[in-house]
A and B are shown apart, each in its own frame.
Chain A
Amino acid sequence: MIGVIGRSGAGKSTLLRMINRLTDADGGEIVIDGRDVLQLKGAAKRRWQRDCAMIFQQFNLVPRLDVVTNVMLGRLNGHNTLKSMFNIFGAEEIERALAALERLDIVDQALQRAETLSGGQQQRVAIARALTQAPKMILADEPIASLDPLSAEIVMKSLREIHERDNLTVICNLHTLDTARAYCDRVIGMLHGKMVFDGPPEDLKPAAVREIYGADREIDEATTSTSLPGRSATPPVSTPEPVSVAV
Chain B
Amino acid sequence: MTATADLSHHIIQAEGRRRLYSIAIVVITAAVIFAGYGQANSMNSGGFLNGLTKFFDYPSEIVVEAWEARTAFLGLMYKFTPALIETLNIAAVATILGGVMGMIFAFLGSGNLDIWPRAVPIARRTMDILRAFPELIIALFLIFVLGTSPVPAMIAVAFHTTGALGKQFSEVNENIDRKAIEGLEACGANWFQRMKFAVLPQVLPNYLSYFMLRFEINVRASAILGFVGAGGIGAELRRTIGWGQGSGDETAALFVLLILSIFVIDQTSSYLRRRLIQKNSD
Most chain B CB inside 10 Å of its own CB: which residue of A53, A73, A74:
A73
Query: Which A50-69 residues have C-beta < 8 A from chain B?
Result: 50-51, 53-54, 56, 58-66, 69
Which A residues lie within 8 Å of B179 (CB)? 56, 58-60
In the complex, A133 Cα to B202 Cα: how many Å? 23
Partner of A47, one of B184, B185, B188: B188
Given A73-B189, A113-B280, decide whether A63 and B183 contact each other with a Cβ distance below 8 A.
Answer: no
Asked if B187 and A129 make an inter-chain contact with CB atoms under 8 angstroms apart, the answer reads yes
A48 CB within 8 Å of chain B: yes
Given A73-B197, A84-B196, A129-B187, decide whether A64 and B182 contact each other with a Cβ distance below 8 A.
Answer: no
User: Tally of A-B residue pairs with Cβ under 8 A?
Assistant: 90
A-B contact pairs, 22 of them (CB 8 A): A22-B185, A45-B188, A46-B189, A47-B188, A50-B187, A50-B188, A54-B186, A60-B183, A61-B183, A63-B202, A64-B280, A65-B197, A65-B280, A69-B197, A76-B188, A76-B189, A77-B188, A84-B193, A113-B281, A129-B183, A133-B187, A133-B188
**Chain A residue nearest to B182 in the complex (CB):** A60
Interface residues of B (CB under 8 A from A): 177, 179-180, 182-190, 192-193, 196-198, 201-202, 280-282
Asked if B182 and A81 make an inter-chain contact with CB atoms under 8 angstroms apart, the answer reads no
Closest 7 pairs between A and B when the two form their complex, measured CB to CB: A60-B183, A50-B188, A54-B186, A77-B188, A49-B188, A46-B188, A76-B189
Asked if B187 and A49 make an inter-chain contact with CB atoms under 8 angstroms apart, the answer reads yes
Interface size bracket, A side:
35 or more
Which B residues lie within 8 Å of A113 (CB)? 280-281
In the complex, A159 Cα to B183 Cα: how many Å? 18
Which A residues lie within 8 Å of B185 (CB)? 22, 49
Which A residues lie within 8 Å of B186 (CB)? 20, 22, 49, 53-54, 56, 60
**Chain B residue nearest to A139 in the complex (CB):** B186
Asked if A73 and B184 make an inter-chain contact with CB atoms under 8 angstroms apart, the answer reads yes
- Nearest chain A CB to B236 CB, angstrom units: 43
A91 CB within 8 Å of chain B: no
Which B residues lie within 8 Å of A66 (CB)? 280
Interface residues of A (CB under 8 A from B): 20, 22, 43, 45-51, 53-54, 56, 58-66, 69, 73-74, 76-77, 79, 81, 84-85, 87, 111, 113, 116, 126, 129, 133
In the complex, A66 Cα to B197 Cα: how many Å? 11
Which B residues lie within 8 Å of A62 (CB)? 180, 183-184, 197-198, 201-202
In the complex, A81 Cα to B193 Cα: how many Å? 6
17 additional contacts (CB under 8 A) given A65-B280, A84-B193, A126-B183: A22-B182, A22-B185, A43-B190, A45-B188, A47-B188, A49-B186, A53-B186, A59-B183, A62-B183, A62-B198, A64-B201, A73-B187, A76-B187, A76-B190, A77-B187, A81-B190, A113-B280
**Chain A residue nearest to B183 in the complex (CB):** A60
